Amino acid sequence: MTSKPKSTAAINRRKFIKAGAAAATTAAIAGFPSIVRAQAPIELKISHYVPALHGLQTDFIEPWAKEIEKRSNGRVTYKIFAAASPLGKAENQLDQAQTGVVDIAFGLSGNPRGRLPRSLIVEMPFLIEKAGQGTRTLMALYPEQLKQEYKGLKMLCLLTHNAGHIHTRDKKVEKMEDLVGLRLRTPSATVSAMLTQLGAVPVGMPPGAAYEQIDKGVIDGACFPWDPVRAFRIDEVTKFHTVASFYTAAFWFAMNEKKYNSLPPDLKKIIDDLSGEYLASRMQGWWDKWDDAGKAAAIARKNTIITLSPAERKRWADALIPTYNKVMIETEGQGVKNARDIYIQMQRAAAKFAPAKA
């Protein structure tokens, strides 16, 4: 029986199928280069709570993210959400990072209140003088004493600012008695305890809210280092700046742990190489630069700057002795049974990392 000749369409169809199979085989042998090239870059969403023009973003976070992008050859990109964005509220940074709403966040350890009591021990009066010292103190204690507070996070750096001061609207603070009755913005429960002991009235609020509340007279001033005087325009609503250097505030910079674990090993290594010591070694220079700008803003506005004498600082330190025990009892009540041991370890670390005296 003679078979029917195949149609031209059928022959063409068979040629097309064979050609497609051959192309697939070639791609398999070559390791799918076209598919690799087509992979979309990994975009990291990064949030913080200060203005986009603040050095925290322009000197720290953005250059850091750009370096990751550079070292990954563009496989990792980033998008930053600052204070003015829907993801820029100070009180939301911790939850956003832990739940994966953002991939990386920078937050104030005292906001929201009561979430990071171990880390806040570093804010004890007159313990930390410089940002580099505070940063290295926190990082030294992180593996054994602090890590448990940051569940769901890959820690990139813990840090503090340079010692903080008091900025007031109408009343000059030259001695301890001048604080009595003053309503002052405070960054954390620890600093609130100090202010109460010194006779002031602490008012907890995010840093971005201080300008309006001082301007309206709801509060009389704020506890800040020099940096926010420019960054949050505090120089515009205050006349007096008392250099007391009596406290510090703790911060964290961390990545969602699931996001970090989802990355291939080479990208994890890039992030590891740009975290920890890489960041800690730069903190002092950054904070000094930001504080210098804040002080310059106050000087340019012809505000009055008061520096406490060594004798007056000692009076404050002596008056704050009861605060130690009060804060320890409160921290122990939050479940940190070894709070006193943590404080002793922080004292030792702070002494070890203290700046050399001129």
**What gap in Å lies between CA 337 and CA 329, rounded to an integer?**
9
DSSP assignment letter at 234: G
309 pLDDT above the threshold of 90:
yes
Burial class (CB in 10 A: 0-12, 13-18, 19+), 69: middle
The per-residue pLDDT for range 238-277, each reduced to its tens digit, is 999 999 999 999 999 999 999 999 999 999 999 999 999 9
Of residues 85, 35, 80, 34, the one with CA closest to residue 61 = 80
Q: In this structure, which CATH number among 3.40.190.170, 3.50.50.60, 3.40.50.300, 2.60.120.260 belongs to the domain 40-160+250-287?
A: 3.40.190.170
Confidence of residue 357 (pLDDT cuts 50, 70, 90): confident
The per-residue pLDDT for range 84-96, each reduced to its tens digit, is 999 999 999 999 9
320: how many CB neighbours lie within 10 A of its CB?
Answer: 21
344 pLDDT above the threshold of 50:
yes
Architecture, CATH, for domain 164-249+303-352: 3-Layer(aba) Sandwich (3.40)
109, two tokens: 């350890």
The per-residue pLDDT for range 52-103, each reduced to its tens digit, is 999 999 999 999 999 999 999 999 999 999 999 999 999 999 999 999 999 9
More confident residue, 2 or 316: 316
Res 34: pLDDT: 43
List phi, psi (to 5°) of 296. -60, -35
CB 186 within 8 A of CB 121: no
**What gap in Å lies between CA 191 and CA 110, rounded to an integer?**
10
Of residues 124, 119, 121, the one with CA closest to residue 146 = 119
Asked, colleague to colleague, whether 40-160+250-287 and 164-249+303-352 share their fold, the answer is: yes
200 pLDDT above the threshold of 90:
yes
Res 264: pLDDT: 97
The per-residue pLDDT for range 278-306, each reduced to its tens digit, is 999 999 999 999 999 999 999 999 999 99
Q: Which range is least confidently modeled, 37-51, 198-212, 218-232, 249-263?
A: 37-51
What's this model's pTM, rounded to 2 decimal places? 0.86
Domain ranges (residues) in the chain: 40-160+250-287, 164-249+303-352
Contacts of 115 (CB under 8 A, 6+ apart): 94, 149
Sheet holding 221-224, edge to edge: 201-204, 183-186, 221-224, 164-168, 240-247, 304-307
